[in-house]
């Protein structure tokens, strides 16, 4: 427990991003992610980085577009309504294959909604949000430690594939304090080295000469044949990500499970409490917690549905969005039950237990 | 060992800070902790509250619906969370601001006038520390020494006078709970 500090999720992810070599951050304030932007405002000047509060979310995401075009590690963050405003920019980043990290500290919606924790942006994050055929890699943390760890994972992934990465968190994880342990700061030399991996495509200072090539970054391709080629290339990258980058937690998953629950993020924490209690009463219930919600662990869920499984339960803080992916994975083998809470209300372990008990 | 707690009061009374100091000290002692504040809009005169879990094992849900320890620094807090406290649980009540204390059976109550005691010690600011003292004496969630060290590191240079009053308030709480 040596170097643990007690920190809010919003602050922890910001600190971890800086340690991962992020020196450029553009955003516009919104509750419940305000501590993130405040932390960046305080810390970026201390590490010679740039913090800029843009005039709007739209401006912020386009600043991210510009900075990413220089091959630098860049981040923005917001909460649900603000992410909707950034959606156009997300599509442009994906189209131009720019690496960037976007944090969504979800709150209740639709519209302005409220400021309490929710998971109603699952569809937006994993199925689109912006226009066109594109994907974001979407990581869903379930604790403050994981929220922080995902900052460096997100930068590594976005640098590797040049696909924007979203960390899909929520108000509870943003506001909650838990002990967190950080990795070391990347040195200036390491950060410079990271930038070099993008040398072949990114913008360089405006000098032509040996080793300094003219690059263009654009998502406009007016020739349909060329655009087709570009989108098919994106598809190839997305297929590779689906094959290699799926991550999940299997909690009490075993060959004798009678029931399997599926939940992500905050909801999964509550479900763990509920199934701990039920298993102590002699049941055998497992939990699959997708850590990447795109790419989604379809195969892993399919594999967990063996002959002894009677039923699958899905718990989300929305009206049933990930539910559709679970149903794809289960493919009609067993019934899939759903319980959701909306409006920023979080279900209690007791409510989850009741839902499961009705079928035991 | 797992303790689920709710600390609640008017904004400014230091309910959230009770949770922060307990979580911080428990973490220093090597335990798992979570600190989850209410951050929504609250009506004037309502409750600012925080859910804290301290456990030897990994903490699943940080949401506390049935606490084992509850501190009510005002009447709305007692009315809101008092009925949810688990049997054999501990309820600590600020007598000065809770005129109506309906005692449930099977619950350990400590009812003391926090505002009056804090004034006697010399600062309204240390009101919440009395509650922490009671928790230290009544439970084994954290040790006095751990918290005293945390406070000393935090306040020694910044405000030695406030540090002295804080420690005095914690000891007062421990004494009252005996």
Segment B43-91, tens digit of pLDDT: 677 789 999 999 999 999 999 999 999 999 999 999 999 999 999 999 9
pLDDT attached to residue B85: 98
Contact A178 B62 (CB under 8 A): yes
Domain boundary among A154, A173, A196: A196
Token pair 């049935």 is found at B66
Q: Which domain holds residue B100?
A: 2-177
pLDDT attached to residue A203: 87
Q: Is B162 helix (H, G, I), strand (E, B) or coil?
A: helix
User: Does residue A27 share a domain with residue A175?
Assistant: yes
Share of chain B above pLDDT 90, in %: 92
CA distance B8 to chain A (A): 16
Any domain includes A303: yes
Q: Tell whether A235 lies on the interface with B, counting CB pairs under 8 A.
A: no
With CA atoms as reference, the chain B residue closest to A173 would be B36
Considering its fold, how many domains does chain A have in total?
A: 2
Any domain includes A233: no
The bridge status of strand A292-294 relative to strand B69-72 is: unpaired
Q: How far apart are CA A165 and CA A97, in angstroms?
A: 11
A285 C-beta neighbours (distance < 10 Å), count: 22
Backbone phi, psi, residue A83, to 5°: -70, -35
B79's torsion region: left (phi>0), alpha (psi -120 to 50) or beta?
Answer: alpha
**Chosen from B4, B35, B66 to mutate, greatest number of chain A CBs within 10 A:** B35
Contact B60 A346 (CB under 8 A): no
User: Does residue A175 share a domain with residue A271?
Assistant: no
With CA atoms as reference, the chain B residue closest to A178 would be B34
Terminal-to-terminal C-alpha distance of chain B: 22
Any domain includes A207: no
User: Does residue A275 share a domain with residue A169?
Assistant: no
Read off the CATH number of the domain in which A154 is found.
3.40.50.970
Of residues B23, B39, B59, nearest to A6 (C-beta): B23
User: Does residue A164 share a domain with residue A36?
Assistant: yes
Of residues A172, A276, A349, nearest to B36 (C-beta): A172
pLDDT at B94 over 80: yes
ipTM here? 0.94
Any domain includes A223: no
In this structure, what token pair is assigned to residue A194?
């990271």
User: Does residue A10 share a domain with residue A153?
Assistant: yes
Domain boundary among A161, A181, A196: A196
Q: Tell whether A116 lies on the interface with B, counting CB pairs under 8 A.
A: yes
CB B74 within 8 A of CB B94: yes
User: Does residue A301 share a domain with residue A185?
Assistant: no
Partners of residue A114 in chain B, C-beta under 8 Å: 40
Whether pTM exceeds 0.80: yes
Any domain includes A218: no
User: Does residue A299 share a domain with residue A186?
Assistant: no
Domain boundary among A196, A214, A237: A196
CA distance A40 to chain B (A): 21
Indicate the pLDDT class of residue B171, thresholds 50, 70 and 90: very high
Q: Tell whether B20 lies on the interface with A, counting CB pairs under 8 A.
A: yes
What does the buried/exposed string (b/e) look like for B121-137 if buried means 16 or more CB atoms within 10 Å of the residue's CB?
Answer: beeebbbbbbbbbbbbb
Q: What is the pLDDT of residues B129-170, one digit of tens each?
A: 999 999 999 999 999 999 999 999 999 999 999 999 999 999
Q: Which domain holds residue A40?
A: 5-196
User: Does residue A312 share a domain with residue A170?
Assistant: no
User: Does residue A257 share a domain with residue A188?
Assistant: no
Contact B39 A270 (CB under 8 A): no
Q: What is the mean pLDDT of each run of 10 residues along chain A (360 residues)?
A: 86 98 98 97 97 98 97 97 98 98 97 96 96 97 98 98 98 98 96 91 74 81 96 98 98 97 98 96 97 98 96 98 98 98 94 96
Read off the CATH number of the domain in which A279 is found.
3.40.50.920
Contact A6 B32 (CB under 8 A): no
Of residues A31, A171, A176, nearest to B62 (C-beta): A176
Partners of residue B84 in chain A, C-beta under 8 Å: none
Contact B35 A178 (CB under 8 A): yes
**Taking Cα atoms as reference points, which of B46, B106, B111 lies closest to residue B79?**
B46
Give the CA dihedral A83, A85, A89, A91, nearest 10 degrees.
70
Any domain includes A70: yes
Of residues A6, A116, A270, nearest to B40 (C-beta): A116
User: Does residue A283 share a domain with residue A168?
Assistant: no
Q: Which helix (H) or strand (E) holds B93?
A: strand B90-94
User: Does residue A168 share a domain with residue A261?
Assistant: no
Q: Which of residues 268-287 of A touch B (CB under 8 A)?
A: 269-270, 272-274, 276
Considering its fold, how many domains does chain B have in total?
A: 1
Partners of residue A178 in chain B, C-beta under 8 Å: 33-35, 59, 62
pLDDT attached to residue A1: 41
Q: Cα A113–A114–A119 angle (5° rounding)? A: 80
pLDDT attached to residue B96: 97
Largest Cα–Cα separation, chain A:
73
Q: Tell whether A84 lies on the interface with B, counting CB pairs under 8 A.
A: no
Read off the CATH number of the domain in which B118 is found.
3.40.920.10
User: Does residue A278 share a domain with residue A171?
Assistant: no
């Amino acid at each position: 427990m040596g170097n643990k500090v007690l920190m809010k999720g919003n602050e922890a992810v910001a600190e971890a991003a800086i340690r991962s070599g992020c020196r450029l951050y553009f955003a516009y304030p919104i509750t419940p992610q305000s501590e993130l932007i405040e932390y960046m405002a305080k810390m970026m000047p201390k590490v010679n980085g740039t913090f800029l509060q843009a005039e709007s979310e739209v401006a912020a995401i386009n600043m991210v577009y510009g900075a990413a075009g220089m091959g630098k590690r860049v981040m923005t963050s917001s909460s649900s309504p603000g992410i909707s405003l950034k959606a156009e920019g997300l599509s442009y980043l994906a189209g131009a294959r720019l690496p960037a990290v976007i944090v969504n500290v979800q709150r209740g919606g639709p519209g302005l909604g409220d400021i309490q924790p929710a998971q109603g942006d699952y569809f937006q994050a994993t199925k689109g949000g912006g226009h066109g055929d594109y994907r974001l890699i979407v990581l869903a943390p379930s604790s403050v430690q994981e929220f922080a760890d995902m900052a460096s994972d997100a930068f590594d992934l976005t640098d590797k594939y040049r696909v924007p990465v979203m960390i899909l968190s929520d108000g509870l994880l943003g506001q909650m304090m838990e002990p967190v342990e950080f990795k070391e700061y990347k040195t200036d030399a390491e950060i410079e080295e990271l930038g070099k991996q993008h040398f072949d495509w990114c913008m360089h200072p405006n000098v032509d000469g040996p080793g300094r090539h003219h690059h263009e970054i654009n998502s406009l391709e007016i020739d349909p044949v060329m655009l087709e080629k570009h989108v098919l290339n994106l598809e190839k990258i997305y297929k590779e990500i689906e094959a290699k980058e799926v991550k999940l937690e299997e909690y009490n998953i075993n060959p004798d499970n009678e029931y399997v629950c599926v939940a992500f993020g905050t909801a999964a924490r509550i479900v763990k409490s509920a199934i701990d209690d039920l298993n102590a009463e002699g049941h055998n219930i497992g939990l699959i917690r997708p850590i990447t919600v795109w790419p989604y662990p379809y195969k892993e869920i399919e594999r967990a549905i063996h002959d002894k499984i009677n039923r699958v339960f899905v718990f989300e803080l929305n009206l049933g969005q990930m539910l559709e992916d679970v149903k794809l994975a289960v493919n009609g083998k067993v019934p899939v039950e759903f319980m959701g809470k909306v409006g920023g209300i979080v279900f209690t372990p007791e409510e989850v237990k009741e839902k499961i008990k009705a079928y035991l | 060992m797992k303790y689920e707690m709710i600390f609640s009061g008017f904004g400014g009374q230091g309910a959230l800070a009770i949770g922060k100091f307990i979580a911080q000290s428990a973490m220093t002692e090597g335990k798992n902790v979570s600190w989850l504040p209410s951050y929504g809009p609250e009506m004037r005169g309502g409750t600012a509250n925080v859910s804290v879990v301290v456990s030897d094992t990994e903490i699943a849900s940080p949401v506390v619906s049935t606490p084992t320890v509850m501190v009510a620094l005002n009447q709305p807090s007692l009315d809101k969370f008092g009925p949810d406290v688990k049997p054999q649980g501990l309820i600590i009540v600020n007598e000065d601001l809770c005129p109506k204390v309906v005692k449930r059976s099977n619950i350990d109550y400590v009812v003391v006038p926090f505002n009056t005691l804090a004034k006697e010690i010399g600062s309204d600011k240390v009101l919440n520390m009395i509650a922490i003292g009671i928790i230290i004496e009544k439970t084994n969630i954290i040790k006095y020494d751990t918290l005293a060290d945390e406070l000393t590191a935090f306040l020694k240079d910044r405000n030695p006078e406030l540090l002295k009053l804080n420690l005095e308030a914690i000891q007062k709480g421990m004494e009252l709970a005996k």
